[in-house]
Amino acid sequence: GTSTRPRGRQFFANPGPTNIPDSVLLAVAHSTVDFNDPAFMEVYDACVEGLKRVLKTRQHLFMYTGSGHAAWEASLVNLFSPGDAVLILETGHFSDSWASMARDMGLEVRQVPADWRQGVDMEAARAALAADKDRAIKGVCAVHNETSTGMALPLAEVRAAMDEVGHPALLLADTISSLGSIDFRMDEWGVDAAVGGSQKGLMLPTGMSFTGVSEKAMAAHEKARLPKFYFNWTRMLGRKQRSFVGTIPIGLFYGLRESLRLIEEEEGLEQVFRRHSRLGEAVRRCVRHWSGNNGPQLFCTNPGRFSDSVTAVLMPEGHNCEAVRGTALNRFNVSLGAGLSKLDGRVFRVGHLGDLNEPMVLGTLAAVEMSLKLNGVPHAPGGVDAAMAFLADGMAA
């Protein structure tokens, strides 16, 4: 045959984009309708309301045709003016990218540096804010779930640090790989701009992103002078749809209506979080088991910061993860995430978010364990058993 991949369904274990449920695929495949048609407007409005519920906000929502980068950019150009300072909490590849974007837009980027395996020290964040006596920092940018390292950042603690020193900066949160998989509470945590995308926890194709925006952020937006047109929230408010400029990707909205139904009605948002936490812990039990015999380890060394949507696995010294990823893909049709920027070759990532259940996770882990073996990577065999034992124990309760 000509195919280089084995038959059978691919187990897609990247941390985004993620698996798309069949009912969402069917919903996306909607024939064209006029996006000003009242029937579509109903779908549109229901999606806006549903997304706000998932963000846990009663404030504003603005949406863009574009991946997460678009919402990142929108959050900056709508809130800041040239030369404004923003404080970025270093978490990994994605906090670095957001920082690069801010720099290129003419903002002054300050960073709270952090060890990628341990995570930002909240005391250091508090100190950086306290030291800003003249309140030059206009925004604090925090990546809720750092997809490159498999670590979560406790946003409530970031909010608390800002409040303790009475810092008036806006809090911007990237929820791209947390929304719809890990608890996020925009209003309760005082998040002023929450950046999200379609292709991860929401189980949709890539191509739509959005920002939840607080009243306080809207007031800052009025004075923000960075250039913007497509992303301009004021323009959006002047349109019939009030949260979108340009042609509306109607297929993604039909898909979003269905994914919101799956999340809120069929499963329930809190159950979705519990499922992710269970599957995340199963993956971690497996990796911890492999780490015996000088095997691969959890990249995250701070148990309080484990991500329930993605696990980054650090290869033993002298072994490149690309061989393991290649075997998993070409022999077993299992797609794993690569290591990003300085983790290239050293870390592979198992995504466990979105439309996923126990057998899919176990199948992925089994393929990884076989790939470790086939590539002569040291490890303690039996990681999958450790994951199974954990999952079965939870069900016996």
Applying CB under 6 A, which residues contact ligand PLP? 16, 67-69, 94, 143, 147, 174, 176-177, 197
For the chain, the distance separating the N- and C-terminal CA atoms, rounded to the nearest angstrom, is 48
Q: Which is nearer to ligand PLP, 101 or 370 (CB)?
A: 101
CB-wise, 11 or 98, nearer to ligand PLP?
98
* Least distance in angstroms from the C-beta of 256 to ligand PLP: 15
Nearer to ligand PLP, 100 or 294 (CB): 100
| Residue nearer to ligand PLP on the CB measure, 78 or 147 | 147
Of residues 167 and 200, the one with the C-beta less far from ligand PLP: 200
**CA–CA dist 268, 391 (Å, integer):** 20
CB 43 within 8 A of CB 49: no
Q: List, in sequence order, every residue forming a beta bridge with 194; answer none if it has no partner.
A: 173, 212
User: What's the min distance (Å) between Cβ of 381 and ligand PLP?
Assistant: 31
Q: How far is CA 351 from CA 6, 124, 277, in A?
A: 21, 30, 12
283: enclosing H helix or E strand: helix 269-290
To the nearest whole angstrom, how small is the minimum distance from the Cβ of residue 366 to ligand PLP? 26
- 120 is written with which tokens? 């930002």
Is residue 295 within 8 A of residue 375, CB to CB? The reply is no
CB 232 → ligand PLP: shortest distance, Å?
A: 20
Q: Nearest-CA neighbor of 253 among 5, 11, 14, 33?
A: 33
CA pair distance 7, 10, nearest whole angstrom:
8
Cα–Cα distance measured from residue 24 to residue 257, given in angstroms and rounded to the nearest whole number: 9
Alpha-carbon gap, residue 88 to 54, rounded angstroms: 25
Least Cα distance to 85 among 185, 169, 183 occurs for 169
CB atoms within 10 A of CB 243: 22
As measured in angstroms, the least distance from the Cβ of 75 to ligand PLP is: 11
CB of 152 to ligand PLP, least distance (A): 11
The pair of three-digit structure tokens given for residue 157, joined into one six-digit string = 């603690």
For the bound state, the minimum distance from the C-beta of residue 360 to ligand PLP, rounded and expressed in Å, comes to 20
At its nearest, how many Å lie between ligand PLP and the CB of residue 337?
Answer: 9
Nearest distance, CB of residue 177 and ligand PLP, angstroms? 4
**Shortest reach from residue 223's CB to ligand PLP, in Å:** 26
Residue with the shortest CB distance to ligand PLP = 68
What whole-number distance in Å separates Cα of residue 351 and Cα of residue 279? 10
User: Which is closer to ligand PLP, CB of 63 or CB of 143?
Assistant: 143
Q: Which is nearer to ligand PLP, 141 or 314 (CB)?
A: 141
- Considering the complex, state which of residue 146 and residue 192 has its C-beta at the smaller distance from ligand PLP: 146
**Between residues 177 and 181, which has the closer beta carbon with respect to ligand PLP?**
177
Q: Which residues pair with 209 in a beta bridge?
A: 64, 197
Residue 91 vs 327, nearer CB to ligand PLP:
91
Q: Which residues pair with 193 in a beta bridge?
A: 172, 213
How crowded is the C-beta side of 70, counted as CA atoms within 13 Å? 19
Peptide bond into 17 cis (omega under 30): yes
